[in-house]
Structure 1
Amino acid sequence: MCDFKGGKRVTLRGYAKDREQHVYPLVGLTCADCAAKFEEKVRQAEGVIDARVHLATSRLVVTGRKLSIEEVERLGAFDDIRVARREETVGLGRFRWRDPLLLTSAIALVLLLLAELAEWLLFPTAVAIGLFAAATILGGWNHFRRGMVALLRLDFNMNALMTIAVAGAWAIGYWAEAAVVAFLFGVSGWLERTVMESARASIRSLMDWAPKTATVRREGEEQSVSAEELKVGDVLIVRPGEKIAADGEVVKGSTAVNQAAITGESLPVEKSPGDEVFAGSLNHSGAIEVRVTRRAEETTIAKIVALVGEAEEQRAPAQAFVDRFARVYTPIVLALAFAIAVIPPLALGAAWKPWVYEALALLIVACPCALVVSTPVAVVTAVGNAARHGVLIKGGVHLEKAGTLQTIAFDKTGTLTRGEPVVTDIIPLQDQSEAQVLVLAAGIERLSEHPLALAIVRKAKEKRVPVAHVDHFQSVPGRGAKAYIAGTPYWIGSPRWMGEEGFDFGPWEETIHRLQDEGKTVVALGRDREALAIIALADELRDNAVHVIRALKQLGIRRTVLLTGDHAAAARSVARQTGVDETCAELLPEDKVRQVRRYTEEGGPVGMVGDGINDAPALATADVGIAMGGAGTDVALETADIVLMADDLSKLPFTVRMSRAALRVIRQNIAFAVGIKVLAFLLAIPGWLTLWLAIGADMGATILVMLNGMRLLKEKPDMEMRRDES
């Protein structure tokens, strides 16, 4: 997705040239408060319509004029934010012993210990002060340099506040405390960067799914080309063990493909000519040739990466609250620090030195880094983890809403059922066997394209019975078909139509009604006005549908609803088998929209699960629209808020569980970040807050909320339900 040599242009369809987007991968972006300031600086640049900094994915997205690398880096110079070169992305997220920040912090620690030793051995005071000063400068130089730039701009970020605190500590003679603060700040900064890069590495791995090169046949010769150079219509040569470089259609060969990277399916999927394959899938067993159907930037995997990368833009309500809070938070703390420094000495006659010290400690606590980063790290970790398991969540707002769902409504066909009718009952009415009935029925229906006809033909193939040869086939739309077998006329279709044609099903009306009450569609077979058989068909329930409904109820979903355009008997049958609480049948698309609105008014947030095409209005109306089987389906990717990339209903409980876990982590992070600040303020009032405790509270809180957010990587789908489906 990203061109690490500069900004990559992404044209927004339907927008003018000045609405183009340009993406810049960044390095040096660790502080959430600094990221917000950098975003604002870029937004104010000439020709920029909008700018977004994605802290958790370390990217800048600029809408409008393309900025040069030099311009971007000049705007980010206040915090050493730079555009990443390709070599700088290698090894990100890994522990690195030679990290300059880690090395300088280690040397600062040695100097700090030597200074303490000098004091203990009663060396001259100047020796200890010199060692403390050296430890302070070395341990905090990187932050002092940024802090001085910020102070000159009257920008009171964390580096500026720490610079003031250390300078103030020196001014009042607290050399040891200044050295400890600088050392802890350096170590905490390194830990914060390492943890953030680990979180980013989990997202960056999404970009490595698709191979960078491909073997293509052009002009009769095999060539190795960059995946970005592939054109629609190119034929790829994919050997066993290789990844498929582009979305396409198999034109030659058969194989098994592991497409877990796209759909989250755990088992390889058989592919043969005519089947669709996705970029990033791993070819397992056979050599195949694939005709490219989408360019690199239009593949399903590219859309996934783009949507995951942009998930932070769809900010969760909790993030909106944090952003508003942070804007008024720092000025209030600065005022409190000033009050603590001057009120006790002026009003109560207290000594200046201790209260100035407390004010300096409070300044360090003032930076809202932990609070600002508390939500984005949880959102991006959850979204990235869900994407790797075949669930595409298109933003923090949808992630948070999914965690509050009280009602989930399902479409029937293709959602709770497979969307493909199967023969369930064959009832001969004369002295034929079931096999003989299939010979006749499949012989007629093999010439029809109706879904029920195809189901009867499939049943004959399963039973391995030969089909009769027919003549003079005639389809009667909406009713059935006629044909001659060995010179005798046969009819197959709805019992009502055949009754109009002179067939008598009176003795079997009770059987027909019983089958229809079970939600089945009844097809009758007759010969020369003689009823021969009744064949019942039904849309087969998904193997794991029952387990999914049960799992949702165990998660606390209060109400499950079936919304379908099918007839009431079929809806009741599916609801009875799955355990769905309520059914609404024979609904038009606008009726589904009304029902979704009603459930929202009655019982809180509603999720709608459908196929993303027929259910688009209801998906858009629901608080959270969830589309089934979105891999390769543009409508599902565009319409729904959450897409289950594989046709796998078992991912729904995982999605709800992941969303609730993310919501829980976000609340924990916000409560912890605010609680630490409040505790620090309370310690400052009686004069118990020290500089080293302040830096530990601030940076420690930031690291802990990030680590807490990364716990979401442990959430996984229920493998038992997935085995049921397979």
Structure 2
Amino acid sequence: MGDCCGSGACSTGGVAPNKTKSGFFQKYGEYGLAITAFLLLAVGIVLKEVVAPNWFTAPLQLLFFGLAYLPVGGPVLWKAITQIGKGNIFNEFFLMGIATIGAFLLGEYAEGVAVMLFYSVGELFQGAAVNKAKKSIESLLKIQAEEVAVVEADGTIKIVHPSTVAIGSIIQVKPGEKVAIDGILISEKATFNTAALTGEPAPDRKYEGEKVLAGMVNLENLSAIKVTSRFEDSKLSKILEMVREAASRKAKTQRFITRFAKIYTPIVFLLATAITLLPYFFMETYVFGEWLYRALVFLVVSCPCALMISIPLGYFGGIGAASRNGILFKGSNYLDQMRKVDTVVMDKTGTLTKGVFEVQHIKTVEFDREFILNLVTSLESSSNHPVARAVTAYCAGLGYKAVRVEQAEEISGMGMKGQVEGFNILAGNTKLLKKYGIPYDTEIDDFAETTVVIAINEKYCGFITIADEIKEDAKLAVDELRQLGVKNLVMLSGDKEKVVQALARELGLDLAIGGLLPEGKIKEAEKLKKRSAMLAFIGDGINDAPVITLADIGVAMGGLGSDAAIETADVVIQNDQPSKTATAIRISKATNRIVWQNIGLAFGVKFLVLSLGAFGMANMWEAVFADVGVTLLAILNAVRIQKMDFPAKKISETKVLDKTVAHSPKRKTNTEKEFA
């Protein structure tokens, strides 16, 4: 039978499939034992109630009740002995064993068997519920490819395990196959199903040079991919490792119930002993058997299975529901805290905007335009920043080619510096030129676009304006977070103040601060955290990792996000949709409701029947309901979350933002707004 959690080891404690049970008997034997016990119990009851007792039928009754007890009670008694051998005397198996053996000693054979039978049936239901809760997460754990086709130097194909493939190798992926390792597409184009990573089944078209992640499924033509990371370092492997670790991080409610059970169970045993013995000193008509029976009822009712099973099962189901929605909680503690968030702080680029920049305008001064763009594209090619990639992509489209750069250096939050063909080049925001004391055209400060300012040999020589596109669901995210009771919506960005304020007006944020270096984001986040009950920060870049760590709940964009942001985050949104933050809060609230419903149900019914049992107003059958019945009800309530939907409003129902940040209407925003 499955183990109840009272002994401290809950069967929902991990996400790996149960490999200890295999074969026909182990798959169906537990049900067979329960059915056998039920049939033998029925025969015993018939013999007791229908056939007149005599020298032959009385022992026969005991024989049938004993045979009925063994298949369901035997495993429980063995577990009790095993736990006692480990020093855990007061566990639920011990309570059930004492109660049922006591019932036999009092001649209540049918009730003793019934307690064990229904307890075992409850364990079977528990196992089925836990397996169902695991199913969605186990399906995620099975999406890693077990083999990969590597193209050898002579053009032959070799099938190997992905863990043996070196970086730089070329692999082939047939239509319908999973991508085994992260890489760059070297075929002209391909279409992939990314549902395993993002929770969204929509096909994703990739072109030559674009990144392809492990877990994606090739939908069309034979595709070739150049491996860029080791198998164990792929984004999918890291996500699966997070899933495996998630169950070990327990919510406060779970930790409290575990500690509570260790104190509660011995207290209950002592109370049962008191119920049996104390009346002897106060009652003239004391009957030992009567008060022992009451104590046995008390023990059966007191078994903490309903709490110890349903609570972790509720959290486990919540984590599974979140994973189906493309959200990874790294533990039930974070799932529990998410519902309390009252302040959400967001990065701009890659979080609220797509991080896909396009060059809008170029102005050159002093030097020839072609000469400047040749130097700039060479310098920017040394950076992976989205702005730098936009500049290099634009220049490459015009036929400019990058040349060797000497002493290239990326200055965090400012831009790039280096030497190209003997010229000292600076390309970045206006803070970069201010840092080196280079005057520039002050009209740039009024631009409502991201601007790359250029200096050659310490002399200002022009700028490039770039616009980023707002994500389709950014406005939806803001609207839904407000509906869920989030009081303060804030944006912190390293982009220029004008750009940040334009986006804040478009989305209707409470507070927006631009022009922040990484340390500036940390300082502002610390201020906000002091004024918030629970602060969540959403980001995607390496520079966001310190703030993600600082926040009460750190949320990372898992698609475009950097490994540093994903690893430090508590919650990962796998499809980069900011509106999933609202979905995460809804799942957290639903999980919490279910957990407390189960706590209230278990304590309420148990307290009632415990009180009735102590005064002789409840028998073993009521005790069975108070224990097994309440456990089953709690389990059924806990698994509800796995069937619940958490749909966001359709994007068409809210305002779709199809404009770039640069073209946002100029509504007034109070950047110093006081929080509610």
Q: TM range, normalised to the smaller chain?
A: 0.7 to 0.9
Summarize the alignment of residues 421-460 of structure 1 with structure 2, pairs less than 5 Å apart.
421-422=357-358, 448-449=376-377
Deviation, 1:468, is 11
| Amino acid of the structure 2 residue aligned with 1:142 | P
Q: Cα deviation per residue 1:547-577 (whole Å; 9 max; x = unaligned)?
A: 1100110111111011123333222211110
Quote the residue 2:300 is aligned against: 364
Quote the residue 1:176 is aligned against: 110
Equivalent residue of 1:615, what SS?
Answer: helix
Equivalent residue of 1:211, what SS?
Answer: coil
CA distance in 2, matches of 1:455, 1:100: 63
Deviation, 1:709, is 2.9
Q: Which ranges of structure 2 fall in alignment gaps of 5 or more residues?
A: 381-385, 402-413, 418-428, 455-461, 659-676
Higher relative contact order (CA 8 A, sep 6+): 2
Equivalent residue of 1:572, what SS?
Answer: helix
Equivalent residue of 2:186, what SS?
Answer: strand
Quote the residue 1:297 is aligned against: 232
Q: Cα deviation per residue 1:299-353 (whole Å; 9 max; x = unaligned)?
A: 3222222211211222222222222212211111111111111222432233222
Deviation, 1:717, is 4.9
Quote the residue 2:185 is aligned against: 250
| Amino acid of the structure 2 residue aligned with 1:377 | L
**1:700/1:306 Cα in 2 relative to 1: closer, same or farther (>3 Å)?**
farther
**1:56/1:108 Cα in 2 relative to 1: closer, same or farther (>3 Å)?**
same
Equivalent residue of 1:216, what SS?
Answer: strand
| Amino acid of the structure 2 residue aligned with 1:167 | I
Equivalent residue of 2:616, what SS?
Answer: coil
Q: 1:386 aligns with which of 299, 322, 328?
A: 322
Summarize the alignment of residues 9-28 of structure 1 with structure 2, pairs less than 5 Å apart.
none
Equivalent residue of 1:187, what SS?
Answer: helix
| Amino acid of the structure 2 residue aligned with 1:301 | L
Quote the residue 1:572 is aligned against: 501
CA distance in 2, matches of 1:310, 1:57: 8
Quote the residue 2:457 is aligned against: none
| Amino acid of the structure 1 residue aligned with 2:79 | R
Quote the residue 1:209 is aligned against: 143
Give the superposed CA RMSD.
4.2
Query: Within the alignment, does 1:236 sit opposite 2:165 as a pair?
Result: no
Q: 1:283 aligns with which of 218, 223, 242?
A: 218
Q: 1:196 aligns with which of 120, 130, 136?
A: 130
**1:653/1:259 Cα in 2 relative to 1: closer, same or farther (>3 Å)?**
same
Q: Cα deviation per residue 1:591-649 (whole Å; 9 max; x = unaligned)?
A: 32232222222231111111241122221111111112356732122221112223322
| Amino acid of the structure 2 residue aligned with 1:250 | L
Q: Cα deviation per residue 1:386-420 (whole Å; 9 max; x = unaligned)?
A: 23433222112222221110000111222222234
Quote the residue 1:49 is aligned against: none
**1:460/1:403 Cα in 2 relative to 1: closer, same or farther (>3 Å)?**
same
Instruction: Assess if the C-alpha contact under 8 Å between 1:417 and 1:540 holds in 2.
Output: yes
Query: Within the alignment, does 1:686 sit opposite 2:615 as a pair?
Result: yes
Q: Which ranges of structure 1 fall in alignment gaps of 5 or more residues?
A: 1-27, 37-52, 61-82, 428-439, 471-476, 481-492, 526-532
CA distance in 1, matches of 2:499, 2:482: 23
CA distance in 1, matches of 2:346, 2:23: 45
Q: 2:271 aligns with which of 336, 357, 360?
A: 336
Q: Cα deviation per residue 1:415-450 (whole Å; 9 max; x = unaligned)?
A: 2222344467999xxxxxxxxxxxx98997587436
Deviation, 1:227, is 3.6
Equivalent residue of 1:687, what SS?
Answer: coil
Q: Cα deviation per residue 1:268-304 (whole Å; 9 max; x = unaligned)?
A: 2122332222222110011112233334333322222
**1:612/1:320 Cα in 2 relative to 1: closer, same or farther (>3 Å)?**
farther
CA distance in 2, matches of 1:59, 1:534: 55
Query: Within the alignment, does 1:132 sit opposite 2:65 as a pair?
Result: yes
**1:540/1:718 Cα in 2 relative to 1: closer, same or farther (>3 Å)?**
same
CA distance in 2, matches of 1:274, 1:468: 17
The number of aligned residues is 608
Quote the residue 1:398 is aligned against: 334
Quote the residue 1:320 is aligned against: 255
Which is further off, 109-118 or 176-185?
109-118
CA distance in 1, matches of 2:167, 2:400: 43
- TM-score normalised by the chain length of structure 2: 0.79
| Amino acid of the structure 1 residue aligned with 2:563 | D
Quote the residue 1:720 is aligned against: 650
| Amino acid of the structure 1 residue aligned with 2:220 | S
Query: Within the alignment, does 1:651 sit opposite 2:580 as a pair?
Result: yes
Instruction: Assess if the C-alpha contact under 8 Å between 2:43 and 2:64 holds in 1.
Output: yes
**1:664/1:518 Cα in 2 relative to 1: closer, same or farther (>3 Å)?**
farther
CA distance in 1, matches of 2:293, 2:116: 15
CA distance in 2, matches of 1:571, 1:183: 65
Which is further off, 588-597 or 256-265?
588-597
Summarize the alignment of residues 408-423 of structure 1 with structure 2, pairs less than 5 Å apart.
408-422=344-358
Quote the residue 2:564 is aligned against: 635
Quote the residue 2:404 is aligned against: none
Quote the residue 1:311 is aligned against: 246
| Amino acid of the structure 2 residue aligned with 1:296 | F
Instruction: Assess if the C-alpha contact under 8 Å between 1:561 and 1:580 holds in 2.
Output: yes
CA distance in 2, matches of 1:255, 1:414: 24
Equivalent residue of 2:94, what SS?
Answer: helix
CA distance in 1, matches of 2:277, 2:196: 60
Quote the residue 2:289 is aligned against: 353
**1:453/1:666 Cα in 2 relative to 1: closer, same or farther (>3 Å)?**
closer
Quote the residue 2:473 is aligned against: 544
Instruction: Assess if the C-alpha contact under 8 Å between 2:451 and 2:465 holds in 1.
Output: yes
CA distance in 2, matches of 1:523, 1:231: 38
CA distance in 2, matches of 1:457, 1:651: 32
Equivalent residue of 1:684, what SS?
Answer: helix
CA distance in 1, matches of 2:171, 2:198: 22
